Amino acid sequence: MKIDIYKQSGEKSGTMELPKEIFEIPFNKDLIHQALQRQLSNKRKPIAHAKTKGEVRGGGRKPYKQKHTGRARQGSIRAPHFKGGGVTFGPRNVRNFVKDMPKKQRRLALFSALSEKARNNEIIALEDYKTEHPRTKDFAEMLKKLPIKRNVLVIIPEKDPNIQKSSKNIAFAKTILASYANIHDLQKYRSILLLKKTVEKMKETFLEDSAKAPNTRRQENFDRSVLSGTRESKFSDNTVDGTFAESSLTK
C-alpha cells in the first residue's frame, strides 16, 4: 500500500510504500475494541471512596439498652440505616481496574487500526519539518496546507522539541513518538501525519520481536540432560560421585 508524501510547503513530492506487515492487516473490530477497553481501564484511577460502618467516626457505644424501651434494638448509631452512618457496598478507591491482554493481540489490534486508516486514505507522510525555533503559528499553517482533516495525529520517529512544542498548543493536533503508538490515539484522531522516517522506526519497534529466532538452546540442553540421566543437581559443586565431599562436611 502506498501513501502520498508532501513537503512542508504543502506540495506533493511523491509516494512511499508502507510495509504490509503493519499496514495491510484485515480489520478486526472485536480485537480493536478489546485493546481499547484495556487501555482505558488501565488509565482509570478511582477517586470516589465511601467509609464503611467500621471506618466512620463514632458509634462505639450502644445507643440505648436492649429491652424494655419499646423501640427496635440497635447496636450502633453508625449503622448503614442511620443518618451519618457507614455505607454498604459503596465505591472504594482500592478497586483494581487493570486488565491484561497478550502482547501479540495488542500488536495485531494496533496493526489492524493502522491498516484501516491506510485503506481509508487517512494517512499521509511529510518529508521533514525544519524550523529554527518552535512556533505554533507556523506549524498550524503547515497543517492547513496539507490535505488532511482536523483532528490529526502526528507520529514522529524520535524526540524533536521543535515539532513537539509547536503542536502542543493546537487543540486538534497531537504529537507522539512512533514507539508510543497506541490504539486510543488512533481511534480518537481521524487523520495521521507520519514523518518519512517514522515508518522505519515503526518497523524496528513493532517487528523486531517477530524477526528474532526463538531461543531453543535452554530447552535442548534440558532435554539432553533428561535423556542421558545426568541432570545437573543443585549440590553438584559439593558432591563427588553422588556423595558429599569432605570439604563440604568440614565447613
pTM for the predicted model, two decimal places: 0.73
pLDDT band of 10, cuts 50, 70, 90: confident
* Total domain count, the chain: 1
Helices (H), 47-181: 103-119, 136-145, 161-167
Name which residue leads in pLDDT, 220 or 37: 37
In-domain check, residue 122 = yes
DSSP codes joined into one string, 183-226: HHHHHH-SEEEEETTHHHHHHHHHSHHHHSPP--HHHHHHHHHH
Q: Rounded mean pLDDT of 4-33?
A: 91
pLDDT tens-place string over residues 199-222? 999 999 988 765 554 555 555 555
pLDDT tens-place string over residues 222-244? 556 555 555 554 444 544 444 44
Whole-angstrom CA distances from 67 to 70, 82, 100, 144 are 8, 20, 55, 81
Q: Rounded mean pLDDT of 94-106?
A: 92
In-domain check, residue 15 = yes
Exposure string of 132-168, with b = 16+ CB inside 10 Å and e = fewer, is eebeeeebeebbeebebeeebbbbbbeebebbeebbe
In-domain check, residue 229 = no
In-domain check, residue 191 = yes
Among the residue ranges 70-79, 80-89, 144-153, the one predicted with the least confidence is 144-153
Which pLDDT score, from 0 to 100, does residue 67 have? Answer: 95
Which pLDDT score, from 0 to 100, does residue 159 have? Answer: 92
Contact 8, 163 (CB under 8 A): no
In-domain check, residue 250 = no
- At 107, which CATH number? 3.40.1370.10
In-domain check, residue 50 = no
Domain that holds residue 11: 2-44+98-210
Q: Rounded mean pLDDT of 40-62?
A: 92
In-domain check, residue 88 = no
In-domain check, residue 28 = yes
Among the residue ranges 12-21, 166-175, 242-251, the one predicted with the least confidence is 242-251
Q: Rounded mean pLDDT of 31-38?
A: 96
